[in-house]
Amino acid sequence: MTHLMHTYGRLPVTFSHGAGAWLWDTDGRKYLDGLSGVAVCGLGHAHPAIAKAICDQAGKLIHTSNWYQIDLQQKLAGELCRLSGMETVFFSNSGAEANEAAIKLARLYGHQRKIGSPTIIVTEGSFHGRTLATLSATGNRKIQAGFEPLVAGFNRVPYNDLATIAQVGDNNKDVVAVLVEPITGEGGLAPDA
């Protein structure tokens, strides 16, 4: 019996450790980590310099909140802006939070331009996250089922159909953004789709 809420269709494997892009399960089998913790561990596992930096930081301060100045965060933001040519950076804890921020920024942009119902084009079969807004943007009815009413303001089009995206944009002056992510599995992140 598990005390974890059943939110994902978990596979019958438990990982014990990793090194770089490799993972080992509790039976000693080696796997290539193609998910990177669903894009959370993009720097790999157990890199000595990263592990040291995390330990050093944890020995000083783990978290204070964005209500306060965070020196290293400001330095990283400056470096990212320098490299990208952008002006500002938003740091988030997850892809869903990043997508939620993108949805909010698109709607804010629309309202600033006096658009009453800012609309975002999303694609069928997409997966954008599990918050209510990102779930509403997701193009997989199976993942959305049971969480209604969903957030309005999304116009769904077929994936990889630029002509339809252009047509929707031409015919709907409320469109403020297009949110596109790769299709994975059958319209969501496998295996829990």
CA pseudo-torsion sign 20, 25, 27, 29: negative
The Cβ of residue 137 has, within 10 Å, a number of other Cβ atoms equal to 28
- Are 96 and 130 contacting, i.e. CB atoms less than 8 angstroms apart? yes
**What integer pLDDT is reported at residue 190 of this predicted model?**
40
Spell out the domain ranges in the chain.
1-60, 65-91, 95-178
Give every residue of the chain whose pLDDT is below 50, as ranges.
Answer: 186-193
155: enclosing H helix or E strand:
strand 154-157
> Which tens digits make up the pLDDT trace of 146-158?
999 999 999 999 9
pLDDT at 33: 94
CA angle centred on 184, ends 179 and 12, rounded to 5°: 135
- How much is the pTM? 0.78
CATH dotted code for 1-60: 3.90.1150.10
3-state DSSP percent of the chain in helix, strand and coil, to 5: 35, 15, 50
